[in-house]
Structures are given as C-alpha cells and as structure tokens.
Amino acid sequence: MFRSVGAYLFAAAFLVLSKSAFRQALSEFHDTEPGSLLFGALQVVIGISAVVAAIGLVRRSRWASPSVAIWGVATAALLAVQPLYEPMDSGARWSIWLGAAAVGVAAAGVSWFARGLQRGDAASRAVTARADVEPPAPGLLVEGRQPVEPIVARAPDAHVHRGTEGQDERPHSSRAPIRE
C-alpha cells in the first residue's frame, strides 16, 4: 500500500515538474540569448521524460525507471551547464553544481524505487498467475496408481533341449537379472 502511495506522490511531483519544464521551454525558445536553444531543448527533454515517468510510475511499467533516469540526467545537465552561460560568482556556481548532484542522487533514488515497484508488481502477477492453476490433490496421485511390482522373469533354460541338464543352468548374459 505504501508503494502505491509513493508511486502516486512521485507521479504528481513529476507532473508538476513537467509543467514547469514546458513553460520554461517556451520562454527559452522565444529568447534570443546565447544558449537559449540548448536550454529550451533540455527543458523539453525534462518535461517529456517527467510525463513519461509519471505515467510509468502509476502503471508500474518497466520503462518508468529509465525515464526517471533520463529526467535526472537532463535536469542535472541543465543545472551543470547553466554557470557556463550566465556570469556568476564562485559560491553561486558551487551551489548550482551541488544542486545538480542532489538532483542526480534524488533521480537515482526514485529510479531505484520505480525499478523495485515494477519488480514487486511483476512478482505479484507471477504469484497470482500460479495461484490460478490448482495443484492436483495428493490423494489422487496415490489412489490412481497401481502398486509397482518388480518384474521377475526367468531366463529360458537354453541347455534343456540339448541333453546338458547337469551343466550350468544360469544364463551367461550379465545384463539379465535373475531372481530365485
């Protein structure tokens, strides 16, 4: 139950982040400053991957984890590249790079959560699929079979018709077991 609540909370957060990314992408495409096309393209990637991640988390799909990872890489890249295009002091640059690292770690954690969510859902589907097929009752197996009796066959006496009754009566084949 907590996994479901977590999946819905992460999905809602990704939808809010995608809305913000699409708004930023539109404003970057209207801007003429250097790097605005790169920032706009990264914002589009961030927005699309966030929407795909939200849908994947709700559906517990196997592609939720990679889409969260793509979102994290694109967001961290956007934050890491920003100090190259905008002049800022070294303290602000370090805080932005630290924020990029934090976003990367958070995205790795949510991606791990999404992967576990998908694995848990696949495992529960496998258990319910196995539960649909009922095993046979143990009594039916025992009652339906006849008891196994050993097959005992005497080898034909090859020397009876030749007048050699006093000689060795055992066959010389080592493959045929004889019980007496």
Domain boundaries, the chain: 2-132
Three-state SS for 157?
Answer: coil
Q: What is the pLDDT of residue 2?
A: 58
Q: Which string of b and e fits 125-142 if b means at least 16 CB within 10 Å?
A: eeeeeeeeeeeeeeeeee
Q: Tokens 């046979």, residue?
A: 136
Report pLDDT digits (tens) over 134-162: 555 555 455 555 656 666 666 666 655 55
Which of 116 and 72 is assigned the larger pLDDT? 72
Tokens representing 18? Answer: 């995608």
Alpha-helical (H) ranges within the chain are 2-30, 36-59, 64-85, 90-132, 138-144
- Give yes or no for residue 165 having a pLDDT over 60: no
Distance CA 16, CA 10 (A): 10
How far apart CA 43 and CA 27 sit, in angstroms, is: 10
Q: Is the pLDDT of residue 114 over 60?
A: yes
Per-residue confidence at 107, pLDDT binned at 50, 70, 90?
very high
Long-range contacts of 151-160 (CB under 8 A, 24+ apart): 152/179, 154/178
What DSSP character marks residue 146? Answer: P
Quote the pTM value.
0.61
Spatial contact of 89 and 62, defined as CB atoms under 8 Å apart: no
- The tens digit of pLDDT for each residue in 36-80 reads 888 899 999 999 999 999 999 998 888 899 999 999 999 999 988
